[in-house]
Amino acid sequence: MISILLSSSTTTTLLPSRPIYTSNPPYFSTKTTRIRHFNVSCDATNGDQNQNHNLSPQNVQTSQGKIDRRNVLLGMGGLYSASSLIPDIAPSFATPISPPDLAKCSRGTNLNTGEPLDINCCPPIAKYTDYKLPPVTNMRFRPAAHLASKEYIAKYEKAVQLMKELPDDDPRSFTQQAHVHCAYCNLTYEQKGDPELKLQIHNSWHFYPWHRWYLYFYERILGKLIDDPTFGLPFWNWDNPPGMVMPDMFAKKDSPLYDPLRNLDHLPPALADLNYAAKPSDNSKVIQNNLTEMYTEMVRGVSKLEDFYGAKYVVGSTPDPGPGTIERGSHSSLHVWVGQATKSGEDMGNFYSAGQEPLFFSHHINIDRLWTIWRKLRGSKPKDFNESDWLDSSYVFYDENARLVRVKVSDSLDQDKLGYSFQEVDIPWLKNRPKPRVKKSKIATTSSAPRADSVFPVKLDKVVKVLVERPKKSRSKKNKEEEEELLVIEGIEVDSAKFVRFDVFVNDEDDKPDEIDKAEYVGCYSQVPHKNSTGVKSKIRLGLTELLEDLDVEDDDKILVSLVPKANGDDITIGGIKIIYAS
């Protein structure tokens, strides 16, 4: 038997460059340290003498051989939810991600150097209660930022100013709201049930629901500060040409919406570049590339849920299992396009500081809008995962009344119940299916490129071209409806402290990497810099079915894949490429 000690003791370390709370907020008391003991049986095998609960990161050796450590941790899944700072909950055998123990929030560690991070984004400590969605009596209206009225802009500026004037130790303050994103995104929390692993809600199926809840409470706090229950955050309509310029309300230097830590070269009238780092030649190319990127992210490559949402991530999983199309594409590109004013990319150009940039919230409001659009485009297809590992995952946020509340993924799916709507605007990318430069290309049969299985792993310090075998060809319409053909790029290792990006092309004869407005472009991988490094391998899946139809090469037994580094290729290593079929 193992006796596990849980304590509410915690240490606060001050931030050198950002103000944080310097004492316990007046809403809560943390003076009492309560200690509980839990006895956990670890008798996994007959007569097992090894009772050490410090499990290895990947697997555990038993008399039956190696088993996935997640299976060992199933019995501990709910154990840590019984800490002294949150309500008592019986141990659970499920594996959904659950709220972290705020008392165990740490500064985090750079896994490359072993040094502690120079930031502290830990929130005030409190007990949480389960959040109940209030009845919707007034819908919150979210306007397109470039179409917002002067009256609305004045109201928004007042709300943000009032938020910035709140004491830093108020969990509703601008500083603390920024820390929410920092803490959940920079490996500062332990996974409950698996203290050896840290919590990260990016690059997985938590990306959309977590950010939706984050925006929901941020918006409600602003609305309460100006006593307007209909107030909604504006969305930066960067997927539509009229909205691709940074909204003017964020570019006024005397406004609380302004942030000096931006790339000043990208203020209006510069066009937002969803393919950032490709450096297209003129504005017309930016717009066309943007529309192609949106079509690829929202239509072409997302037949299966995992390809849009990102990979599954549960207790026992290492962080960053694999981002979905928008997260690894337009989301990351615009973070860095806005924030790459300094080497570390502050504010919006780095996860830890992104919440300090008011434009961050309008950027993510648009992503939330795109999630809504994508679900509607699915029609009769499954719109979401039906697995409890996703639906029962939960997070904690401070609401507009400074109460710490727990929310579930399952409660975030119905936008009407959350009580907000978006302004209707054009969606031009829906009609922007890219055309091939070359149909029936024979380049896969004439190329001298090596076979994929003879190349990897490889550093992406130059363009890498490989031939990839197709296990199936000449598939029927029914086959295609039942199974999506996917190009899987796996074992992706990067220096996550840097912005990295590479693009992927199939049977591309042009070799013009700055131009993605062609059917040969299959997708990209890009990543917003972290203050820390995760030190794990990730993967992406790229939809091929429609692309191969457009190129008219469905009968070919292999394709030529080009990996084109766009940013910091020296810091990207690819482990392998293969084609799979997902039902």
* Catalytic residue, candidates 179, 206, 331, 530: 331
- Strand 404-408, strand 129-130: pairing: parallel
User: Residue 296: what pLDDT?
Assistant: 97
Backbone angles phi, psi at 330, to 5 degrees: -60, -35
Summarize the confidence of residues 297-303 as an average pLDDT.
94
- In sequence order, what are the beta bridge partners of 464? 563
Lowest mean pLDDT among 75-79, 146-150, 193-197: 75-79
Look up 335 and say whether it is catalytic: yes
Residue 314 CA to residue 481 CA, distance in Å, equals: 29
Query: Cα 471 to the chain's mean position, in Å?
Result: 31
| Closest alpha carbon to 365 in 231, 461, 469, 251 | 231
Q: Helix 207-225 crosses helix 358-377 at what angle (to 10 degrees)?
A: 130
Out of 235, 308, 351, 360, the active site residue is 351
Give the residue extent of every domain in the chain: 126-431, 443-582
Nearest to 329 by CA among 303, 292, 360: 292
Least confident of 253-267, 334-348, 409-423, 449-463: 334-348
53 counts as catalytic: no
Q: Is the pLDDT of residue 326 over 90?
A: yes
**What percent of the chain is modeled with pLDDT above 90?**
69
| Region of 33 on the Ramachandran plot (φ > 0 left; ψ -120 to 50 alpha; else beta) | beta
Q: Rounded to the nearest 5°, which phi and psi values hold at 547? A: -60, -45
Q: Is pLDDT at 99 greater than 70 in this prediction?
A: yes
Give the residue, 536 or 286, on which the prediction is more confident: 286
| Euclidean distance between CA atoms 155 and 230, whole angstroms | 12
DSSP 255: S
Please say whether the beta carbons of 509 and 438 come within 8 A. yes
Tell me the DSSP string of 127-195: --EE--PPP-SS-EEE-BGGG--HHHHHHHHHHHHHHHHS-TTSTTSHHHHHHHHHHHHTT-SEETTEE
Name the amino acid, one letter, at 238. Answer: W
CB-based contact 370:415 (threshold 8 Å): no
Distances 171 to 35, 167, 327, 384, 581 between C-alpha atoms, Å: 26, 9, 27, 32, 46
Q: Is 363 a catalytic residue?
A: no
pLDDT tens, position by position, 486-528: 999 999 999 888 899 999 999 999 888 778 999 999 999 999 9
pLDDT of residue 176: 96
Q: What is the pLDDT of residue 535?
A: 66
DSSP state of 126: -
pLDDT category at 332 given cuts 50, 70, 90 is very high
> Sorting pLDDT into bands at 50, 70 and 90, what band is 530?
confident
Which one of 179, 206, 266, 335 is the catalytic residue? 335
Residue 323 has pLDDT above 80, yes or no: yes
237-260: average pLDDT = 97
In sequence order, the 6+-apart residues with CB closer than 8 A to the CB of 327 are 202, 203, 207, 310
Q: Mean of the per-residue pLDDT values for the chain?
A: 83
Residue 58 has pLDDT above 60, yes or no: no
Alpha-carbon gap, residue 453 to 451, rounded angstroms? 6
Question: With respect to CATH, is domain 126-431 assigned 1.10.8.50?
Answer: no
pLDDT level of residue 207 (50, 70, 90 thresholds) = very high
Residue with tokens 């091929």: 544
Is 364 catalytic? The answer is yes
Weakest-pLDDT range from 15-29, 124-138, 261-275, 439-453 = 15-29
Is 181 one of the annotated active-site residues of the chain? yes
With a CB cutoff of 8 Å and minimum separation 6, the contacts of 61 are: none
User: What is the reported pLDDT for 77?
Assistant: 32
Provide DSSP, 194-247.
Answer: EEEEE---SSSTTHHHHHHHHHHHHHHHHHHHTT-TTB---B--TTSGGG-BPP
Output the pLDDT for position 68: 41
Checking if the pLDDT of 463 tops 60, the result is: yes
CATH fit for domain 443-582, picks 1.10.405, 2.60.120, 2.30.30, 3.40.50: 2.60.120
Going by the DSSP 8-state scheme, the letter that residue 347 receives in this structure is: T
Where does the pLDDT of residue 94 fall: very low under 50, low under 70, confident under 90, or very high at 90 and above? low
Residue of 146, 179, 181, 266 marked catalytic: 181
Q: What distance separates the 2 farthest-apart alpha carbons in the chain? A: 74
DSSP 474-499: S--HHHHHH-EEEEEEEEEEE-TTS-
Q: How many CA atoms lie within 13 A of 336 on its CB side?
A: 25
SS3 271: strand
Least confident of 47-56, 257-266, 407-416, 504-513: 47-56
- Give residue 27's pLDDT band: very low, low, confident or very high (50, 70, 90): very low
Q: Which one is catalytic: 364, 422, 499, 530?
A: 364
Report, as an integer, the average pLDDT of 192-205: 88
Is there a catalytic annotation at residue 331?
yes
17 vs 122, more confident: 122
Mean pLDDT value across residues 337-348: 78
Percent of the chain surpassing pLDDT 70: 80
Quick check: 82 and 91 in contact, CB under 8 A? yes
Catalytic residue among 146, 179, 202, 266: 202
Same fold, 126-431 and 443-582: no
Is residue 374 over pLDDT 70? Answer: yes
Q: What is the dihedral of CA 21, 27, 30, 36, to 10 degrees?
A: -130
Known binding residues for Cu cation are 181, 202, 211, 331, 335, 364
pLDDT of 464 reads 96
The pLDDT value recorded for residue 341 is 64
Catalytic residue among 146, 179, 206, 211: 211
Q: Is pLDDT at 337 greater than 60 in this prediction? A: yes
Q: Does residue 35 have a pLDDT over 90? A: no
pLDDT band at 186 (very low <50, low <70, confident <90, very high): confident
d(C-alpha 518, C-alpha 435), whole Å = 5
What CA–CA distance (Å, rounded) separates 384 from 391?
9
What's the pLDDT score for residue 496?
Answer: 83
Q: How far lies 218's CA from each of 211, 232, 282, 359, in Å?
A: 10, 10, 37, 13
Cβ-count burial 484-512 (b if 16+ within 10 Å, e if not): bbbbbbbebbbbbbbbbbbbbbbbbeeee
Q: How confident is residue 344, by pLDDT bands cut at 50, 70 and 90?
A: low
351 is catalytic: yes
Confidence check: pLDDT of 414 > 50 = yes
Question: Lowest-confidence range among 6-10, 326-330, 454-458?
Answer: 6-10
